[in-house]
Structure 1
């Protein structure tokens, strides 16, 4: 079973992080939802504290979709609401394609990039991974200060100076240690979202940080709107690629509305 944090009471909502991240990325949002949603923040296989998948070679996004669907069965969830960020957003949309969820919310999801944008995103992620893996001690000292967080994390956060230093240090440690990262990055870069009409039976919400410098705003949100014209599309002001820490109140409010649509 995937390692997870279970909080709150109400309609179940599964929270899925992106590549190199961990379930703690959702902590500020889950705390705000505890009064009216039962949240399950998961560590994907090979990230955070969850063991890797027992597969050799590259790990396509479909392998993670399968793993999350197995998690639903493991904890007794039948078509829960789901929300994901980045790679987790792509997983959420693919779960909606399968009809496995009551609603899907994707925050800055992968799959709407062109070739040049995919190359840029993978290069940034690879550089961040190498830094966390081989110069993690130095980076953890750098992010102890607000100016250091701006320099080191500005591509991921809209307001990196406001990020808690302890959170930044733990994120870097987990990024450097993630055993599934290298086997996932290549297939992830080749993933393209297709056939949005197949999701028409599930309420879908797309949220995009207006300061997203990894999955570039506004070009990729435009493609998402074209691919999913029936979805609800929302701009998250003052937020970067990881809006859960930039503005957890805004994200929690979005998830309440999005999951209510699929009730």
Structure 2
């Protein structure tokens, strides 16, 4: 890693939370209190009633804002919601301090059970993809389709640029990062984030960059920022080492929902080579490969992701009608 690179930037996705999180025009954010956890949920009211429900789950260090562009594009096709995982965005840390993939999946399940919106079209990015996979495997009744964008499923040989995430999971490393980087400007950190997460950072407008800088600055003021990042990174590493029926790949084999897999050819965190294994593992899957995208395709090329998602939902609805008994 060169001297100009921020070690902590490698584990912070593109849009950190604001003060509070920025709400785009047409969006709403509400707080939902559940047993042991309080979640902030971002939504965009559908243009017409009765549209299929969608729930989006962000990745490590991200927030529900990561889904704003995609939700806007899908407003005429779906009733979209995106939640802030416990400790991220506008959601406070969970009462039990559990930042494992299973703990996050439990929070998603609690929300879906409480909201009575299921089965939903579940969408996840990175860590959110691992969480969504676990939810779909253990509660198939809650998931109609599954869309995974660069899902954080275990790799035998992780990319070099993903190694700092694992290092953050080690005891004492997060406080060390905090001390070493305390004088780094939000602009420097944000540039590093964009360089890591985007296939082409030049796609980010000057306005978008300024908003990301302001929100990153807000992140660093949160008293639990480093603790949440370290514990969540540890949860990812732990999930990678689980074997048997709790293995994420074993659970992927159990997913019944039609699945859309989205991978970016320029992804520096999840290798494109994992697309082939994922395609073999998820029993009813289709693959979208984006040549110019990196780790956050729903932000880099939301139009392509929206088109593929619409096709998935439409094909699933057609299959449902064909399978239903005729009167």
**Same fold per superposition (TM over 0.5):** yes
Question: After superposition, what is the alpha-carbon deviation per residue over 1:197-251, rounded to whole angstroms, capped at 9, x for unaligned?
Answer: 311x21111111111011122x222221232253112112311001122111112
Q: Point out the structure with max Rg over C-alpha.
A: 2
Q: 2:239 aligns with which of 169, 183, 191?
A: 191
Determine whether 1:168 maps to 2:212: yes
Deviation beyond 6 Å, 4+ runs, structure 1: 129-132
Q: Deviations over 1:147-200 (max 9, x none)?
A: x83x5521211121222213432553465444522111112123242223311x
Deviation at 1:41, TM superposition (A): 1.1
Kindly tell me: are residues 21 and 122 of structure 1, through their superposed partners in 2, closer, same or farther at Cα, counting changes over 3 Å? farther
Q: Could you report, residue by residue, the CA deviation over 1:4-45 in whole angstroms, capped at 9, with x for unpaired residues?
A: 111132211001100100110111111111112110011001
What TM-score do the two structures reach when normalised by structure 2?
0.69
From 308, 315, 322, the counterpart of 1:254: 308
1:86 to 1:34, Cα distance in 2 relative to 1, 3 A: same
Instruction: Report the secondary structure of 1:154's partner residue.
Output: helix
In structure 2, how many angstroms separate the alpha carbons of the residues matched to 1:31 and 1:226?
32
Alpha-carbon distance in 2 for matches of 1:137, 1:254: 43
| Cα distance change of structure 1 residues 170 and 110 upon mapping to structure 2, 3 Å threshold | farther
- Is 2:195 aligned against 1:158? no
Match in the other structure for 2:229: 181
Partners of 1:47 and 1:123 lie apart in 2 by 19
Q: CA contact under 8 A between 1:112 and 1:221: conserved in structure 2?
A: no
Q: Residues 104-160 of structure 1, C-alpha deviation per residue, up to 9 Å, x if partnerless?
A: 10000011311x417752415767x889956477442337xxxx83x5521211121
Q: Distance in 1 between matches of 2:178 and 2:216?
A: 8
How many residue pairs get matched? 253
Change (3 A) 1:131 1:161: farther
Unaligned runs of 5+ in 2: 1-31, 33-38, 169-173, 241-247, 318-327
Residues 210 and 239 of structure 1 are in contact (CA less than 8 Å); yes or no, is this contact kept in structure 2?
yes
| Partners of 1:80 and 1:137 in 2: CA distance | 44
Structure 2 CA distance for partners of 1:259 and 1:94, relative to 1, 3 Å: farther
Give unpaired runs (5+ residues) of structure 1: none
Q: Does 1:106 align with 2:148?
A: yes
Instruction: Give me the CA root mean square deviation.
Output: 2.6
Distance 2:313 2:274 in 1: 24
Task: Look up the SS of the partner of 2:254 in the other structure.
Answer: helix
